[in-house]
Structure 1
């Protein structure tokens, strides 16, 4: 009997019988490569906190089967709610809540990649004094340049005002940058703030809209510890014809507690490759100009 594999997509906000337009090409590639598809209402889950309504069009399955989500980012708690709601219908998301958070939140990823990624400190936004605590801890960077982000995302397209600080010791600039990041992220701020050592990476080009410097970065996807694809991260700039050697990263991936995750890597100016961050593979975007048919073909081949 041929295997049945499922991909869960978000519904279109305007037509609940169709996939969200932003994922339409992925939906087509998934179906062309043999996947069955499920749709749920993202807004009902996230905004209305109603998982039952969000998944009401998903009928219970006769036997327990695995499903891979491909859609918008969820908090770990939102993901857990979706996980247990689907499990009650005999659909099991490929990662549980802990496995999701392991790669979704950078601080959780550090236990796997700390020796291969820039020096990092972080503080949860759970206390009123967390910014002051973080600024005090930033003294560990001395006068080095640093990057500011939340636990998941940066405001890299506001590079000079909400992301990059040329000297960590400039506490006034550091606080201003953190404040700008928090303001821009608004209700979408993920958990807390991360400060990272800024390392000189191999230049690619300058972003045509934001003016942000683009570096030689790649996104890798792993499923059940197997590398299923390596893709140029940026659509602008001239990449080398050959992709970097991934053997060391494939070895490292064996120790990461997740069944489906992404790994962003970059080349330093000295030629060494480093890990920028991990991401849960279900909510990590496939870089522009990627052959999505190849992605879903490789995903199919590594799923049981």
Structure 2
């Protein structure tokens, strides 16, 4: 769920709609996951003051780069590292490690069949989609990016990425 502003009333409306339990917070374009406990993770949405403290810290850290409003998502426990997938014209061109964990090879059982038509329907020439395996065995989309800030992991040779992207004819 998301807000249309950075106002507390807007934040509280969405927070209450999500009810109770842990949540993850970001703005429209970026999380502050490197500041997990202070600006990304809300332990319990029912604690309005603690939740607003996290939201305020996110807003402060993002400063002029804050985009749109707050995005709240229920916290989910993942059992794998993130995999970054690179898509050209709706087709997956490459699966790589995530840039935050470049030495962690993503699981080989990533099933893209269910999401491929949805990603293709976006009609975008280039996007990245990050996935992680949930504790219940379901692959979850973590984030979709338009490639503008989608870094490659240091362990993926630039020529490998460029070759895969060009093969998709972007």
With normalisation by structure 1, the TM-score equals 0.52
1:133 Cα deviation after fit = 1.8
Matched, 1:286 2:163: no
- Runs of 4+ in structure 1 off by over 4 angstroms are none
Secondary structure at the counterpart of residue 50 of structure 2: helix
Distance 2:13 2:57 in 1: 18
3-state DSSP of counterpart to 2:140: strand
| Structure 1 Cα separation of the partners of residues 44 and 165 of structure 2 | 43
- 2:85 is aligned to 220
CA distance in 2 between counterparts of 1:134 and 1:181 reads 12
In structure 1, the residue matched to 2:129 is 263
Return the structure number with greater helix share: 1
Shift of 1:137: 2.2
Higher relative contact order (CA 8 A, sep 6+): 2
Q: What does residue range 91-240 of structure 1 map to in structure 2 within 5 Å?
A: 121-125=1-5, 130-202=7-79, 215-233=80-98, 234-235=100-101, 238-239=104-105
Q: Give the match for residue 117 of structure 1.
A: none
For this pair of structures, how many residues does the alignment match?
A: 169
Structure 2 match to 1:114: none
Distance 2:163 2:109 in 1: 20
Shift of the 257–236 alpha-carbon distance from structure 1 to 2, 3 Å rule, reads closer
What is the CA RMSD across the aligned residues, in angstroms?
A: 1.9
Retained in 1: the 8 A contact 2:82–2:106? Answer: no
Q: Which runs of 5+ in 1 are unaligned?
A: 1-120, 203-214
Cα contact 2:22–2:74 (8 A) shared by 1 = yes
Residues 133 and 262 from structure 1, CA distance in 2 versus in 1: closer, same or farther, beyond 3 angstroms? Answer: same
Task: Report the Cα distance in structure 2 between the residues aligned to 1:188 and 1:272, rounded to whole angstroms.
Answer: 33
Alignment match, 2:118: 252
Could you tell me whether the CA contact under 8 Å between 1:122 and 1:193 is conserved in 2? yes
Given that 2:4 and 2:10 are in contact with CA atoms closer than 8 Å, whether structure 1 keeps it comes out as: no
Aligned partners of 2:87, 2:139: CA distance in 1, in Å? 18
Instruction: Give the superposition deviation at 1:125.
Output: 2.5
Deviation at 1:275, TM superposition (A): 0.7
Structure 2 spans left out of the alignment, 5+ residues = none
| 1:201–1:255 CA distance, 2 compared to 1 (3 A) | same
8 Å contact from structure 1 (residues 260, 282) kept in 2: no
> Could you tell me the TM-score, scaled by structure 2's length?
0.90
